[in-house]
């Protein structure tokens, strides 16, 4: 029994947001991709959140430790979120691409992201950045409070 329980815990840790049912999840790595999904989903869904994170590496995880921790937390709370919540996961590039001042997500007027992770409520424009995203109580308040407004 212990062995089975341990195996289940290991399997759960491998889950990503793409594996979770109950939310609509899209993953993009370009501004055009982001614009496409926003345009397509905006008329149908009230709760659209955009999560900017360091790109995933070969192991399937972001190079950014705060992004990895936030994703693990979101996997845990996903079952409690409304079915019509959309999360668009934007990969901003490798570490080398991200630290380049000319990174498209840094320079674009539509995104203007300076830190990862950054979680944005698309409807209101409100955002949590970097260390604010490390406080999971803040993340939960952000997600739940904005749902009722």
Active-site residue, selected from the candidate residues 64, 85, 92, 120: 64
73's tokens: 């937390």
Give the helix, strand, coil percentages of the chain, each rounded to 5: 45, 20, 35
133 is catalytic: no
Catalytic residue among 53, 67, 75, 86: 67
Q: In what order do the strands lie in the sheet with 127-129?
A: 24-28, 85-91, 47-53, 118-121, 127-129
Active site residues: 64, 67
């Amino acid at each position: 029994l212990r062995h089975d329980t341990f195996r289940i815990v290991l399997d759960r840790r491998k889950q990503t947001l793409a594996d979770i049912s109950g939310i609509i999840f899209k993953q993009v790595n370009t501004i055009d991709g982001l614009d496409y999904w926003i345009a397509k989903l905006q008329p149908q869904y009230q709760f659209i959140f955009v999560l900017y994170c360091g790109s995933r590496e070969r192991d399937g995880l972001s190079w950014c430790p705060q992004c990895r921790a936030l994703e693990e937390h979101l996997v845990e709370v996903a079952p409690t979120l409304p079915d019509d919540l959309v999360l668009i996961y934007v990969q901003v590039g490798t570490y080398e691409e991200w630290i380049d001042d000319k990174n498209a997500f840094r320079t674009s007027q539509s995104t203007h992201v300076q830190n990862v992770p950054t979680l944005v409520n698309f409807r209101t424009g409100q955002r949590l950045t970097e260390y604010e995203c490390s406080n999971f109580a803040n993340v939960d308040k952000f997600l739940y409070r904005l749902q009722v407004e």
